[in-house]
Structure 1
Amino acid sequence: MWIETAAEASAKVEFRAPVDATALAEAERRLGRRLPSQLTALLMETDGIVDEYGTDAVWSLDRIVEKNLLFWSPDTFPGLYMPFDPLLFFGDNSGGDQFAFVLTPERPDIFVWDHENDSRLWAARELKDYLHRSLPADGDWWR
């Protein structure tokens, strides 16, 4: 379903081998949180999605874990940004802005974090909407 959804949005996307349930369980253990169900389903079909410009619209599972552990660490950006704990980052636009699910309160909406001004803007109503908006676009499509 997710590969077809991404291919509908853009014919110029790349897919990776899917992750297995063991890798997903280990990722959730390391994160100390469950991944959103839509993201889990996508990762079981493809370990990330790369758009036609080489941007990781959806990161690999390893990158999701590493980036979120970094952003959730209290020592990473002390006093520089609002807390990232309510967010689960999963992709970017290659310009520094990153896309995230909202974990607290849990909801399917996807927000973009602007690294220049620390704003968090609504970008899509759920993962399918995000793929249809982000994959065929270039630049700051959410503005």
Structure 2
Amino acid sequence: MWKEYVNSISKEHHFKDSATKFEINEIQKELNVVLLEELAALFNETNGVFDNWNCPLIWSTSQIIKDNLFFRTFEDYRDIYMPFDNLFFFSDAGNGDLFCYAILKNGTITKNDIYVWNHEDDSRTWVASSLKHFIEGWITGNIGI
């Protein structure tokens, strides 16, 4: 479903093999978060979505873990940014801004809403109502930052 959906918008993206159950569980374990069904379903088809230059539209499971842990633990950011523990980053804009879901205190993501974190002013702005709308909007340029 996800591969077909992306290909219906653009033929300029490619896919990796599906993420393993272990890789998906590692996200949940390492980041103490329960994945939304839409993102888990995407990972059951592909471990990331990439353009022709291998830039990710949706990060791989390993990049999600690495980058989320970095932002949550990098000491220098604690003095200049609000905490990142309530954000689940899964993509970037290529300019330092990151796309994310909001996490509740109990480690759940209850809404499909997508936000962009602005690295210059630390704002967190709503950009899409779901992963489908994010993918379509970002590929077509209807979502801009």
What TM-score, normalized to structure 1?
0.89
Gaps of 5+ in 1: none
d(CA) in 2 for partners of 1:52 and 1:115? 26
Count of aligned positions: 141
Matches for 1:128-139 after TM superposition, within 5 Å = 128-137=132-141
SS in structure 2 at match of 1:17 = coil
Determine which of 135, 140, 143 is the counterpart of 1:141: 143
Mark the runs of 5 or more structure 2 residues left unpaired by the alignment: none
Task: Let me know the Cα RMSD of the aligned residues.
Answer: 1.8
Return the structure number with greater helix share: 2
What is the alpha-carbon distance in structure 1 between the residues aligned to residue 2 and residue 76 of structure 2? 33
- Partner in structure 2 of residue 109 of structure 1: 113
Q: Distance in 1 between matches of 2:76 and 2:22?
A: 29
Give the 3 Å change call, closer, same or farther, for CA 114–53 of structure 1 in structure 2. Answer: farther
TM-score, length of structure 2 as denominator length:
0.88
* Deviation beyond 4 Å, 4+ runs, structure 1: none
Q: Deviations over 1:70-118 (max 9, x none)?
A: 1122625122111111110000111111100111263110001111111
Q: 2: CA distance between counterparts of 1:55 and 1:135?
A: 12
* Alignment-derived partner of residue 58 in structure 1: 58
Higher relative contact order by CA 8 Å / sep ≥ 6: 1 or 2? 1
1:119: Cα distance to partner? Answer: 1.1
- CA 1:59–1:76: 2 relative to 1, 3 Å: farther
Identity of aligned residues (%): 33
Q: Which residue of 2 aligns with 1:46?
A: 46
